[in-house]
Amino acid sequence: MSYTKVAAIYADSEALSGKEVQVGGWVRTIRDMKTFGFIELNDGSCFRNLQVVFADGEVANYKEIAGQNVGAALVVTGTVVLTPEAKQPLELRASSVRVEGTSSPEYPLQKKRHSVEYLRTIQHLRPRTNLFSAVFRVRSAAAYAIHEFFQERGFVYIHTPIITASDCEGAGEMFRVTTLDLENLPRTGDGAVDYGEDFFGKSANLTVSGQLNAENFAMAFGDVYTFGPTFRAENSNTQRHAAEFWMIEPEMAFTDLKGDMDVAEAMIKHIIRRVMERCPDDMNFFNSFVDKGLIERLSHVASSDFARVSYTEAVDLLKQHNDKFDYKVEWGCDLQTEHERYLTEQIYKKPVFVTDYPKEIKAFYMRLNEDGKTVAASDCLVPGIGEIIGGSQREERLDVLERRIRELGMKPEDYWWYLDLRRYGSCTHAGFGLGFERMVMYLTGVSNIRDVLPHPRTVGNAEF
Amino acid sequence: MSYTKVAAIYADSEALSGKEVQVGGWVRTIRDMKTFGFIELNDGSCFRNLQVVFADGEVANYKEIAGQNVGAALVVTGTVVLTPEAKQPLELRASSVRVEGTSSPEYPLQKKRHSVEYLRTIQHLRPRTNLFSAVFRVRSAAAYAIHEFFQERGFVYIHTPIITASDCEGAGEMFRVTTLDLENLPRTGDGAVDYGEDFFGKSANLTVSGQLNAENFAMAFGDVYTFGPTFRAENSNTQRHAAEFWMIEPEMAFTDLKGDMDVAEAMIKHIIRRVMERCPDDMNFFNSFVDKGLIERLSHVASSDFARVSYTEAVDLLKQHNDKFDYKVEWGCDLQTEHERYLTEQIYKKPVFVTDYPKEIKAFYMRLNEDGKTVAASDCLVPGIGEIIGGSQREERLDVLERRIRELGMKPEDYWWYLDLRRYGSCTHAGFGLGFERMVMYLTGVSNIRDVLPHPRTVGNAEF
């Protein structure tokens, strides 16, 4: 007899009514009423528990079962009974219960509310709580929705490299990747570390973005996307930054900034709709216990147009509220999270694309506008988070791009292959990057990035 | 007017016949017949080119277009004309052609056959060739098929960490991840490198497997899978090894070794079927130009049962052919690629699972069988590749696992959280790892792993 998932029992309850099934799962609560008992069993297939009723005389080992602790793994064989009058729609009346693995009174997840800070110290067990089981189920559904969105539109999924010898952003703080023996470093004639002896024959790092590589493939496939881990060695300890996080980076040939924003907006709406369809119980939990109003807000976002405003207009709007900000806004400044959130939360009350930023605060590969001062960039800001997407039309003109690289003190020869794309069949193209964890935070209302990553990596933390 | 993809024109040719469309793509070939010309235009949306006919008098800039080089990016507006008598089913009769980006006679991809070795030196351009466009389209379709397979079965996708402070296999050669300044290393009192000063406050590496972390989540969700990059710092220069590659690692609670093999077999069949359905032109190309008989072989695999044989039986079978092997087979030895391939190609002529290997040649976490000598492991071998999947039932008994860890000279305290899974609600569970690049090699017939990775990383190579 094979196992039936709790999700399948709820989904097919009418068909399974009166039928015998076998379920494997873990005890969330157990109550011994002397001659019969109740178990709330969770198998992780859905948010909901399955109520198991076991009675002395019906199961052979009543005492053994009644004595189990929270966290024990059980295999229950029994009959599905619909209970339309009860709180829960059905229960499983056990004919046999087998203990697969016991637990103990020291089990760290007793039936009480634990702080998220404490739960971060037991990351191997926290997925067994309501909060984290919902978070990681939504994370998985969101990831699949993203693949679905792009694949259905003919985008080719590209695994851009994780280890890289170039620094895409020309700036980011990067992790070094090495096989050199640090206790015995090879040296060149002049005493410097000899990276020629390293694994790749040169200095190598963890990628901060797959974009430049993705452009190689957009110039062959038209529409491509990446979905992979990226890294920042920033010594910052905020709720929104992790050293290792996942990014989605679509890149589209024959597409301008408007087309880029259209795809970004459609993608966010698709993710929201799919997650609400596929994880209703998880979303209701977040709506009730984490962020009241979440579902209404997401529904509103999924069905309304995002605002679009130029950086110059946004600065004019924000300057009127400079008394509210720690950092005063003026043209030329980089928008801080406080400004981004004010714009999306207070002024527009919905997601907003801010476009055409001053070139000085944006990356070298963004397309220079006709005004010579701004670039065709576009950041998408959402309530509660701030920036969730950064995108731009890419500079497709060889001469302009080379000039920009030199202006920034970088060497064109380091970008020979990226420049080649502008030598052979260059075209209008654009792309963006979605920070996946920020999207999951937006979907769940969870406010700390450490609580949406399976095992977060931050300054001083690489446990588990 | 928005752009229409070439794939959409072929898919909807009846409906689009006589209609005007606009296409953006790159010149694969161009022929100037003086008063009219032909362009084979490719936009990467499918394997096939679109034949564009442009005539003097019909397009305003005939001379400019006729003078374009292979590789140029064009935007063509024209009418779809069905051509049932011609080689190709339709063509686009141009009313206007705009040059988005020129190419030059120095364009490295001229119309001739290039060696894969040469193409590896221009990885930014090789996706524009027939071979590599097919490879990466199939790679993308295979990746999506994998997500589809697991998501449709309720598996939760887990992003296990890339940076880790533990070594899962207890053996692998790993890459160090560090932000220490190698020219100026911090030292402890006794002169050793002080990793307490490193980013994570300890020594950290790139993961070789997400399995141990995945088990944390299987013990909460039942069925989970990972799909992410993994790393080996092996100084080996073979056709089958890369320093950075992608793995899929499902992990299933309440599942034994048989269930594990059932899922692995169903997954491989699902991938084959979906890729053959979704990439028929690409697969025909491989079948004709890379590996004759590929489609017949894959179709056979998708519709027949995989063989299953114990290691002990396999060794008995192989010993009868020891005269053919460089390394002679005997019980206790690790199977070499020559043995694996002989078994799957010569003896079974289809994929085969080899089970129950000697514990000495397998990892510590594999479940010890009743005989005390073998473990409940299972490798899946396929023709042309050898091992494509390695899996096992995991040791769920705390005492047995602790003993095994000590036997191997490892410290139980380094595995405290992994052992906790056996303290609180342990259960029968199993999982496997699929090497994604090996799967793509198997699907395409491409024999070198460097040619199925977008930008391969191997000893001495981290270009692009």
* 464 residues of chain B, pLDDT tens digit each: 689 999 999 999 999 999 999 999 999 999 999 999 999 999 999 999 999 999 999 999 999 999 999 999 999 999 999 999 999 999 999 999 999 999 999 999 987 789 999 999 999 999 999 999 999 999 999 999 999 999 999 999 999 999 998 755 545 689 999 999 999 999 999 999 999 999 999 999 999 999 999 999 999 999 999 999 999 999 889 999 999 999 999 999 999 999 999 999 999 999 999 999 999 999 999 999 999 999 999 999 999 899 999 999 999 999 999 999 999 999 999 999 999 999 999 999 999 999 999 999 999 999 999 999 999 999 999 988 899 999 999 999 999 999 999 999 999 999 999 999 999 999 999 999 999 999 999 999 999 999 999 999 999 999 99
| Nearest-5° Cα angle at A140, A137 to A144 | 140
Please tell me the distance from the alpha carbon of residue B152 to that of residue B263, in angstroms, as a whole number. 13
Q: Do A221 and B136 touch (CB under 8 A)?
A: yes
User: Which chain B positions have a beta carbon within 8 Å of A125's beta carbon?
Assistant: 216, 220, 420, 424
Q: Taking CB atoms and an 8 Å limit, are A185 and B182 in contact across chains?
A: yes
- A102 CA to chain B: closest CA distance, Å? 5
Q: Report phi then psi at B134, rounded to 5.
A: -65, -45
Alpha-carbon span A72 to A81, nearest angstrom:
24
**Res A385: pLDDT:** 87
Give B-chain residues touching A427 at CB under 8 angstroms: 24, 73, 100-101
CA–CA gap between residue A251 and residue A260 (Å, rounded) = 9
Does residue B301 contact residue B268 with C-beta atoms inside 8 Å?
yes
Helix (H, G, I), strand (E, B) or coil at B194: coil
* The residue to which tokens 């073979």 are assigned: B238
Query: Are B425 and A454 inside 8 Å of each other by CB?
Result: no
Q: Give me the phi and psi of A442, to 5 degrees please.
A: -65, -40
Closest to A30 (Cα-Cα) out of A21, A22, A19, A39:
A39
Record: contact A158-B176, CB cut-off 8 A: no
Spatial contact of B227 and B157, defined as CB atoms under 8 Å apart: yes
Contact A137 B221 (CB under 8 A): yes
pLDDT for the residue A111: 75
Task: Give residue A105's identity as a one-letter amino acid code.
Answer: P
Other beta carbons within 10 angstroms of residue A202's beta carbon come to 13
* Residue ranges, chain A, pLDDT below 50: 170
For chain A, the farthest-separated pair of C-alpha atoms sits apart, in whole angstroms, at 85
Percent of chain A surpassing pLDDT 70: 98
In Å, how far are A137, A321, A388, A458 from A283, measured between CA atoms?
Answer: 10, 34, 20, 27
Q: Do A460 and B424 touch (CB under 8 A)?
A: no
Q: Which of A144, A222, A235 sits opposite B45 (nearest CB)?
A: A222
Nearest by CB to B183, which of A164, A193, A428?
A193
Residues of chain B in contact with residue A128, where contact means CB-CB under 8 angstroms, are 219-220
Query: In the block, which residue shows the tokens 């994929």?
Result: B351
CB contact under 8 A, B228 and A228: yes
User: Which residues of chain B neighbour A460 with C-beta distances below 8 Å?
Assistant: 199-201
pLDDT of residue A266: 98
Task: For A261-283, write each residue's pLDDT tens digit.
Answer: 999 999 999 999 999 999 999 99
- Contacts of residue A396 in chain B, CB cutoff 8 Å? 100-101
Tell me the shortest Cα–Cα distance from A272 to chain B, in angstroms: 17
DSSP conformation class of A366: B
Q: How far is A187 from chain B (nearest CA, A)?
A: 10
Rounded to the nearest angstrom, the minimum Cα separation between A94 and chain B is 18
pLDDT for A442: 97
CA distance, residue B87 to nearest chain A CA (Å): 24
Q: Which residues of A touch B144 (CB under 8 A)?
A: 147, 151, 157
pLDDT of residue A437: 98
- One CATH from 3.30.930.10, 3.40.50.10130, 3.40.50.300, 3.40.640.10 for B128-171+208-451: 3.30.930.10
Specify the DSSP class assigned to residue A408: T
Are B21 and B77 contacting, i.e. CB atoms less than 8 angstroms apart?
Answer: yes
Q: What is the pLDDT of residue A172?
A: 61
* CATH class, range A6-101: mainly beta
pLDDT at residue B167, rounded to an integer: 56
Instruction: Enter the ipTM.
Output: 0.97
Using CB atoms, which residue from A5, A45, A101 is nearest to B426?
A101
Cβ(B230)–Cβ(B236) below 8 Å: no
Whether B221 sits inside 8 A of A133 (CB atoms) is yes
> Chain B contacts of A173, Cβ < 8 Å?
179
- Bridge partners, A356 (sequence order): none
> In chain A, which residues fall in CATH 3.30.930.10?
128-171+208-451
Give the CB-side neighbour count of residue B186, counting CA atoms within 13 A.
13
3-state secondary structure of A248: strand
Looking at chain B, which residues constitute the CATH 2.40.50.140 domain(s)? 6-101
Is residue A426 packed enough to be buried (19+ CB in 10 Å), middle (13-18) or exposed (0-12)?
Answer: buried
For the entire predicted model, the pTM comes to 0.97
Contact A220 B100 (CB under 8 A): no
